[in-house]
Chains A and B, each alone.
Chain A
Amino acid sequence: MSPSHPRPVRLGLRWERSRISIAPLVWDAALTIYIALGILYILYHNERTGRPEGASLSIVVAALLIALEAAVVSTCLLDGAGPRITKLALVRAEGGPATARDRLRRLLAGHLMGAGCLLLAMALGAGLVAYTSLGEWYRALTPALQATVIGAWCTTVVVLGVLASGVVHPTGRPWHDRWARTWFDSRVGRAAEARVLPWYRQSVWWIGIGAIALTYWVGWRISEIDVKELGNGLSSVRPLALALVQPDFSILRNCAWAMVETVYLALMATTFAVPLAVVLSFLGARNIMPRTVVGTGVYLIMRTIFTVVRSIEPIVWAIIFVVWVGLSPFAGMLALMVHSVAALGKLYSEQVENIDTGPVEAIRATGASAIHTVVYAVWPQVVPPFVAFTLYRWDINVRMATIVGMVGGGGIGALLIQYQGMARWNEVALIAWLITMVVWLMDISSARIRERIV
């Protein structure tokens, strides 16, 4: 190696600050894990459903994805071409940038190396299974787990093999790099940054397309989508459809009362939620809380509470409160209230964070205290959006109250589930129409009011 040669870079073993970007490697690993998880799921699904006919196809697709991944990683990705790595470039051992042939050579060398390691892994693995006590453990596993073990074992040996081949050599270059007479250098890579390749030559696109395709394919299988069923089941909804146009008006009186109950339940839930949400939203607003340990702590705690409580659906809260206070509209109200506090708290605090800081600065400059600043500069700015969100929330709560009623939270939902259980479709139809009317009215009126305010 003559002195003019750029110093080789040990990939992944030495991290030079701001010279080698570690991020693309992490990204790459994440993608690989994602793809592996997809494959595992397919194996699991095939085993569970006992429909192995998809298995061969799954494996072909998975293998293609892995091959694609391996190819891009070993060639253009690390060549400074893709957007994911811009600071490493493939250079020739003699100096100067690598040509297309060099890249091909390195691709072949890399795969040769990988294949060698893979063979080694399989031989070692087979030996371990055949001659040690590990064999019993392995044979006791399900086929899917066996596949996982094989995959993990092979990956480990291949990665360790490639890394080891670099570590043991004094120049730090893996063997396949030396076979290909190329290596990665960080200095040359900077020049490559300016070069923008067309999208189809950027690996990130292909990996992205592959990952999306895999996602939807897995999704299709999980949802057990079966278009044929849509046609087959058509006859069984006939009575339901007929009942829908023949609602039973004899129960109108009862249902109207239940509906009123639902609307009031939603009103109470919203009303009790608002003051709580207002107070908590200020505690959960970054620009209000001081940037001290306590301030940041309170802010983070509030934000976490909002997220967690909001992510639990009202129906789940209703189940909890039905157990707590018994089957009653009160349980439904509590469920809606808790969920509303979190949902409104988050919406409110985002409004607080988005205010114009000018008035805040001006009020602070007058010598006002923190509480005065909030009341005089922040509060007037957030009241209109707060009112708008509150009305919107009431609207949502009326709809939710129906659902909450189904698990014992009172109101129209309870009646609905009762008639549905008895398959009395004409009564169900009346309730459905009633709900539609009320929700529609609420929707229109709250939209009107919100328009006026904001």
Chain B
Amino acid sequence: MLTVEGLSKVYDDGTPALSDVNLEIAEGEFVVLIGLSGSGKSTLLRCINRLIDPTEGRITFEGDDVTAARGADLRRIRRRMGMVFQQFNLVPRSSVLRNVLAGRLGYPGAPLSLLGLWPRPMVRMARGCLERVGIADKAQNRASALSGGQQQRVAIARALMQEPKLILADEPVASLDPATSDSVMRYLGEMNREMGLTIICSLHFLSLARKYGSRIIALKDGRMEFDGLPSDIDDALFKQIYGEDAVEVKIR
């Protein structure tokens, strides 16, 4: 469903972030991206929905050429991919419900959305999404009043609101405590199993990667270092990815 061919990205200041990444992701996979900070995980995820324009290479998503898309075409592709961020990226002063409704901005059918007015079915749908992540009772609260874990669940609900085929999660649990991390990952896992969403998620904890991932891709200095099953990652490979001095930290 998603193909990445020869993807390279060099930032304007000359920093190479990705070089020649090739990927083929099938529907229903839970892909976990691992690698050191600065290895290109975020850049790869942002190239897939074109928040960043790649320097070279081609990305196709369900038959559409993402890299060539412009304007309205690009927005139509983007709305089929949800994105979840490390810092949640909710609008802190807006209500939870409004944040979730924002996930629908890529679709037509809400002509008064510029004024903050939404048709009733969409509000019902947003409440449904909040229910799925277990915080329907917080709908009217300000987003900033929620805890980190709750905010990330709102962000997931916002992504669900897009009715996406694919969810890109950029270190979704890196600013959460271990227990909350696991619950957020559980929601992503559920969506993968029950709704059949494809998920690409970058993670720092290998234990979480093994637990939730169906496939692991490791990046190092912008290159693909490993692509295989979670069970294939052994000590030697770990050191290859994270460097000789690295020691695996377990959370649970």
Contacts and interface: CB of A to CB of B under 8 A. Distances in A.
Interface stretch (A3-11, A162-170, A332-340, A368-376): A368-376
Given A359-B89, A367-B80, A367-B162, 5 more contacts: A361-B85, A362-B155, A366-B79, A367-B75, A372-B105
A380 B91 contact: yes
12 contacts: A358-B87, A359-B92, A361-B51, A362-B83, A362-B85, A362-B89, A366-B104, A367-B107, A375-B114, A376-B94, A377-B91, A384-B93
Nearest to A367: B106
Interface string A345-376: 00000000000001101111111110110011
Contacts of A383: 93
B114 A362 contact: no
A366 B106 contact: yes
A362 B103 CA distance: 9
B89 A368 contact: no
User: Do most interface residues of chain A lie in helix, strand or loop, or is the interface mixed?
Assistant: helix
Contact of A362 (B98, B104, B106, B158): B158
B78 A376 contact: no
A367 B102 contact: no
B76 interface: yes
Interface residues of A, number: 20
B113 interface: yes
A196 to B, nearest CB: 29
Contact of A366 (B87, B92, B93, B103): B103
B64 to A, nearest CB: 13
Nearest to A383: B93
Interface in B58-96: 74-83, 85, 87-94
Please name the 9 residue pairs, one residue from A and one from B, whose CB atoms are nearest each other, closest first: A367-B106, A367-B79, A368-B105, A367-B78, A362-B89, A358-B89, A365-B83, A367-B75, A359-B91
Contact of A381 (B88, B93, B113): B93
A367 B114 contact: no
B91 A376 contact: yes
A363 B102 contact: yes
Nearest to A369: B75
A286 B218 CA distance: 36
Interface of B: 49, 51, 74-83, 85, 87-94, 98, 102-107, 113-114, 155, 158, 162, 168
Contacts of A364: 51, 78
A369 B89 CA distance: 17
B91 A381 contact: yes
Contacts of B75: 367-369
Contacts of B80: 367
A380 B142 CA distance: 12
A371 B93 CA distance: 19
Given A358-B85, A371-B114, A366 B78 contact: yes
Nearest to A365: B83
A380 B116 CA distance: 11
Nearest to B87: A358
Nearest to B106: A367
Contacts of B102: 362-363, 366, 368, 376-377
A363 to B, nearest CB: 6
A317 B98 CA distance: 43
A367 B83 CA distance: 11
Given A362-B83, A362-B85, A362-B158, A368 B106 contact: yes
A362 B105 CA distance: 11
A361 B75 CA distance: 13
Counting chain A CB atoms within 10 Å of each CB, the highest count among B75, B87, B105, B155 belongs to B105
Which of B90, B106, B113, B155 has the most chain A CB within a 10 Å cutoff? B106
Contacts of B88: 358
Interface string A366-400: 11110110011100110110000000000000000
A365 B114 contact: no
A359 B85 CA distance: 10
B70 to A, nearest CB: 13
A362 B152 CA distance: 12
A372 B162 contact: no
Contacts of B77: 367
A366 B51 contact: no
A377 to B, nearest CB: 6
A155 to B, nearest CB: 42
B93 A365 contact: no
Given A361-B51, A375-B114, A377-B91, A366 B158 contact: yes
Contact of A380 (B51, B79, B82, B93): B93
B175 to A, nearest CB: 12
A358 B91 CA distance: 9
B105 A366 contact: yes
A357 to B, nearest CB: 9
A142 B49 CA distance: 73
A366 B88 CA distance: 14
A368 B158 CA distance: 13
Contacts of B106: 366-368
Contact of B114 (A358, A372, A380): A372
Contacts of A359: 89-92
Contacts of A365: 49, 51, 78, 81-83, 168
B155 A363 contact: no
Nearest to B105: A368
